Amino acid sequence: MGETRTLREAIIYNDLAGIVGYDHVSQDEVTRQAYVSDLSWLGRTWPRRGWPTTKPDFIVWPETTEQVSQVLQLANVHKVPVTPYCGGAGVQGGTIPLYGGIVLDVKRLNHVLKIDERNLTVTSQTGIIGQDLEWTLNAKGYTYAHIPQSSYCSGLGGFLAARSAGVLSTKYGKIADMVLGLEVVLPSGKIIRTRPVPRTAAGPNLNHLFLGSEGTLGVITEATLAIHPMPEERRFRGIQFPSLHAAMEGARKILRRGLRPAAMRVSDEIEGRVLYKQEGSLMIFCFDGFKELVDLEERGAIEIAKAEGGADLGPEPGERWWKHRYTIAYPTDKGALAALGPDALVVGGVIDTAGSFDYLEAVHEEMGKAVNRIRGTIFLAHFSHWYKTGGMMYPYVLNTSAKSEEEMADLYFKLQRAAVDAILKLGGTINHHHGIGLTLGGFMKDEFGAGFGTLQDIKRVLDPNNIMNPGKLGFEGR
């Protein structure tokens, strides 16, 4: 059989190989198939059901920032779309190569460049998997305390690009709060660096232009992050509240008091019943640090919780949650959903949002009502990332009413629209820590209002050929 590629494809492939070497570029059918999806419902469903997908034309694994720059310069020459890719563990479709082209996998940029023990920072390339970075720090007695559920399968580049949050964010912050400095390759191939300083007043902070940009404004290749000595103690507690409202009041007052739980997770009544076999609302909290601090904060939190009608369940519920916090990410053939069979027509996903304390309870009620109007919906939620001014709701929406495969995608979008309409009506944000990707792109104008035009202007200036992850974040496609 002769050449099956177009001349253009053959040229681009060989030019890419000229940059990274033939071992680090692929047009192989099997490899391209491995990059068609992410962990979003849309991303998983299309290939699993054999529906038509778009494969990338090339996968490239650069090893240096300079190689990333050269790949982007080449993409501009040929006007080829580029989808930056790290762990591919996003749940919003951000790394799905909608228009083919080049998938730029950053995972060979995986070196920890410096651990500054005196000034408590780590500088790392962004292709490192989250757990690998954590292990590297742990070996020296430190943690970066960013522990999302995807820690084993996702990487620093993805965390930064989607403004991720880990389960300990209430104390240690979201990834964006941890960043001091970044190295970014702009769509043109130009490499820029921001200063890794604790804070600056030197004009707008460019870090925040690229954090959350999901590969549409460039490729983040290096980051300097804050780190912490490993806590002497980490202690858990479970509190059973008579109602979600009582638990939310407890949470609000714990934060208002100035206590800083590393994690605080409030389940609504349905999640409490389904996951923990508890009536009412279950709160799990965790304090860490040096022993005296943990003693003090834990005692203070328990007092507040009791004043709101909470019953102390001891450490067990929290310890169990911590031990099994990754379990849901593993495949299973046990439980009610699995019992429907491997090919069951299940539609669902996460639609996390954030806002004030007043907003959180209101949106829980409003979103629950909205999605439950669609027959066959199960809605459950927890609240697990907190600020003195409010927090985040993490609802999970499931629906098993589709009668045929043809109904599934439209049902997914219907559920999503119902949920997001409730968010927008009540003034929350359409996403707290998973990003926008494909699935929420259509709502970006509502989120930003007139400000979205500004964002589009920035995109056009930085990426005049629209090569960077087109069609994501609500930006133009190809």
Partner 1 sequence: MELKMVERTARLCARCSKMCRHVCTTHAVTRSEVDTPNERCAIAYRALERGEFLPWEVPYMYEKCATCGLCLVWCETELDASDVMLAARADIVNQGLAPRAALAVNKSVVEQGNPHGEPREKRFAALAEEIATLPDKAEVLYFVGCDTLYRQPEAARVAIKVLQAASVDFTVLKDGELCCGEPQHLLGFWDASQETARQNVALIEKSGAKRVVFTCPSCMKIMKDTYPKWGVNLPEGVELLHMTQFLQELLAEEKIALRKEVAKRVTYHDPCDLGRRQGIYDAPRAVIQAIPGIEFIELQFNRENARCCGAGGGLGGTNLGLVIETSKTVISLAQDVSADILITACPTCKTSFQRHTNRCDGLDTLDIVELVAMALGTSGI
Residues in touch with partner 1 (CB under 8 A)? 26, 28-31, 33-35, 39, 44, 48, 59, 61, 85, 87-89, 105, 107-108, 110, 127, 129-132, 135, 139, 150, 152-153, 326-327, 329-333, 342
Smaller CB distance to partner 1: residue 199 or 334? 334
> Would you say 139 and 117 are in contact if contact means Cβ atoms under 8 Å apart?
no
DSSP string, 89-126: --SSSTT--TT-SEEEE-TT---EEEEETTTTEEEEET
For residue 461, count CB atoms less than 10 angstroms from its CB and return exposed for 0-12, middle for 13-18, buried for 19 or more.
exposed
**Smaller CB separation from partner 1, 87 or 93:** 87
Q: Please, are residues 20 and 13 in contact by the beta-carbon 8 Å criterion?
A: no
Contact by Cβ (8 Å): 264, 165: no
Q: How far is the CB of 29 from partner 1 (least distance, A)?
A: 6
Rounded Cα gap, residues 243 and 308, in angstroms: 10
Rounded to the nearest whole angstrom, what is the least distance from the CB of residue 126 to partner 1 in the complex? 13
Q: Minimum distance from CB of 128 to partner 1 (Å)?
A: 10
> Whose Cβ is closer to partner 1: residue 276's or residue 326's?
326
- Kindly state the smallest distance separating residue 329's Cβ from partner 1, in Å: 5
293-325 core/surface letters (b: 16 or more CB in 10 A; e: else): ebeebbeebbebbeebbbeebebebbbebbeeb
Strands, sheet with 82-85, edge to edge from the N-terminal-most edge strand: 25-26, 58-60, 102-105, 82-85
Judged by beta carbon, residue 51 or residue 290, the one nearer partner 1 is 51
Closest to partner 1 by CB, 138 vs 401, is 138
DSSP state of 230: P
Minimal distance, residue 419 CB to partner 1, in Å: 23
CB of 32 to partner 1, least distance (A): 9
Query: CB of 184: closest distance to partner 1 in angstroms?
Result: 21
C-beta separation of 129 from 87 below 8 A: yes
| Closest to partner 1 by CB, 57 or 298 | 57
Nearer to partner 1, 43 or 428 (CB): 43
For 121, half-sphere exposure in the C-beta direction (CA atoms, 13 angstrom radius) is: 19
